[in-house]
Amino acid sequence: MTQGKTGQAEALAQSAADAFVQTSAMPSYSRAQILAKIAAAIESKSEAFARLITEEVRKPIKESRREVARAVFTFKWASEEAKRFGGELLPLDLDEASRGRQALTRRAPSGPALFITPFNFPLNLVAHKVAPAVAVGAPFVLKPAPHAPKTAAKLVDIIIGAGWPKDAAGLAVVDNEDAEALARDERFSVLSFTGSAKVGWHLKSCAGKKRVLLELGGNAAVYVDAGADVAWAAARCAWGAFYYSGQVCISVQRIYAEESIYDKFKDLLLQNTAELKLGDPADEKIDVGPLISEDAAKRVEDWISEAAAGGGKILCGGKRRGDVIEPTIVENAPASCRLSCEEAFGPVAVLEKVETKIHALDKLCEGRYGLQAGIFTNDLAFVFEAWQRVPVGGLVVNDIPAFRSDAMPYGGIRDSGTGREGVRYAMEEMTELRTLVLKP
């Protein structure tokens, strides 16, 4: 059901509330079958979806195809999880007072869910909210990014066509005021938001008693130590910093390399960056296209200028042409500049030399964000020390923080958010635990 006019948020919320009785009673096999049909339908329309994503959000077509493939997997995985999402049997005969008693646990959907999604992954980030909701039997209202309403509408049509009740799949193409009204609406039991920290924490303050999941991006850091595969690390960092013009919340933004391999790593990083192709995102060969808007490009340009004015050295790029920013690497950017401590959301990374692993850990721990980080090393003791010390939701070893499996738990701490996505983990977030105590 689509409601796109101001003031109709009320109708969407009521439809979701009314649909909860039906969806929460759906058997597991029905939910699994619907999810499998959704996956198959997306797969059958994969090229159309990819071209629509490129049209709406200007993502390079090869990255759009990768996103569609991931969405297919997300719905397939949710279909499997729907069939095995159960509870447990607990013996309670642990003392005399509980003798003969047992407990059964199960998870039940908390209620209707509200999903607010960003432009950068207009299909798969929606899938990461919608697929778990269908898997547990929760009706939803989706508020997509203003840049990508067509992708969201196409997906919602497929979901309804697969057998999910029409009133349980609301599409709210509304302005920010109406989105906030939805976030305040007490008929929703869950709010899941992906976007900026400022907006996310504000919506959490409006959400009342809802369970709130926030994925708010970060300032992802990478460390390369002397024993790592330097060529692999350089190639991955170049891709991770600049694919989709850096408009990814786990894009590589801060890069630290150990002193003894720093010059070699820097040279390889610059070589890999120079090989990236800029241009029309509809071109099959393009790696880096425009940003979502010229205003976004101007902001990134301003941040680069700030870093250079503070003593940072621009090793490559740094120039803007309309809404395109060249892939940019800034060496020794000031710690206080925005490129070093905020989320750039553009094709730019800072590079710095560190003396030891201990210094590297200190650098990885800096800042107010905590989504994901990456370390390239073969030192297992260092891996476990970093896992203990670095305050991030996910630590990726021998790859970049931009790595994400759609099955793994994903989310941040500190200003990067709260709660976890990843199909099964999101299903847990959207449900509540219920216990049944039995006495013969």
Write down the catalytic residue from 67, 215, 343, 352: 215
Single-letter amino acid code for the residue at 200: G
Strand spans (E) along 200-244: 211-215, 221-224
More confident residue, 367 or 3: 367
* Token pair recorded at residue 103: 């407990």
CA dist., res. 168 & res. 439, Å (int): 38
Helix (H) or strand (E) holding 206: helix 197-206
Of 231, 116, 240, 237, which Cα lies nearest the Cα of 182? 116
Half-sphere exposure of 147 (CA within 13 A, CB side): 17
Of 258, 214, 249, 251, which Cα lies nearest the Cα of 236? 251
Region 386-414: mean pLDDT is: 97
Region 4-14: mean pLDDT is: 74
Q: What is the crossing angle of helices 380-389 and 357-364, to 10°?
A: 30
- What pLDDT digit, counting tens, does each position of 68-123 carry? 999 999 999 999 999 999 999 999 999 999 999 999 999 999 999 999 999 999 99
pLDDT of residue 176: 81
Write down the catalytic residue from 63, 237, 249, 258: 249
pLDDT of residue 4: 44
Domains identified in the chain and CATH numbers: 2-216+413-438 (3.40.605.10), 221-397 (3.40.309.10)
Helix (H) or strand (E) holding 354: strand 348-354
What is the value of pTM for the model shown?
0.95
Catalytic site includes residue 67:
no
Confirm if 58 and 1 have CB atoms less than 8 A apart: no
- What pLDDT digit, counting tens, does each position of 217-232 carry? 899 999 999 999 999 9
CA dist., res. 22 & res. 30, Å (int): 12
Between CA 165 and CA 173, with CA 171 as vertex, the angle to 5 degrees is 170
* Token pair recorded at residue 84: 């095995």
* Token pair recorded at residue 206: 């409006």
pLDDT of residue 299: 98
Confirm if 291 and 325 have CB atoms less than 8 A apart: yes
> Sign of dihedral through CA atoms 167, 131, 49, 239?
positive
Residue 384's CB is within 10 A of a number of other CB atoms, namely: 10
Residue 187 has pLDDT above 80, yes or no: yes
Place of tokens 């909210």: 129
- What pLDDT digit, counting tens, does each position of 18-52 carry? 999 999 999 999 999 999 999 999 999 999 999 99
pLDDT of residue 10: 84
Task: State the pLDDT confidence band at 3, using cuts at 50, 70 and 90.
Answer: very low
CA dist., res. 167 & res. 18, Å (int): 8
CA dist., res. 47 & res. 55, Å (int): 12
Residue 290 has pLDDT above 90, yes or no: yes
Of 65, 88, 72, 132, which Cα lies nearest the Cα of 281? 65
Catalytic site includes residue 316:
no
Average pLDDT, the chain: 96
* Percent of the chain that is helix, strand, coil (3-state, to 5): 45, 20, 35
Region 229-244: mean pLDDT is: 98
CA dist., res. 93 & res. 91, Å (int): 6
- The residues with which 348 forms a beta bridge, in sequence order, are 328
Residue 1 has pLDDT above 60, yes or no: no
Task: State the pLDDT confidence band at 177, using cuts at 50, 70 and 90.
Answer: confident
Confirm if 430 and 420 have CB atoms less than 8 A apart: no
CB within 8 Å of 256: residues ≥ 6 apart: 221, 222, 223, 224, 351, 352, 353, 354, 360, 363, 364
CA dist., res. 407 & res. 80, Å (int): 11
Single-letter amino acid code for the residue at 352: E
Cα 436 to the center of its chain, rounded Å: 35
Task: Write the DSSP assignment of 68-97 as a string of letters.
Answer: HHHHHHHHHHHHHHHHH----EEE-TTSGG
DSSP 138: -
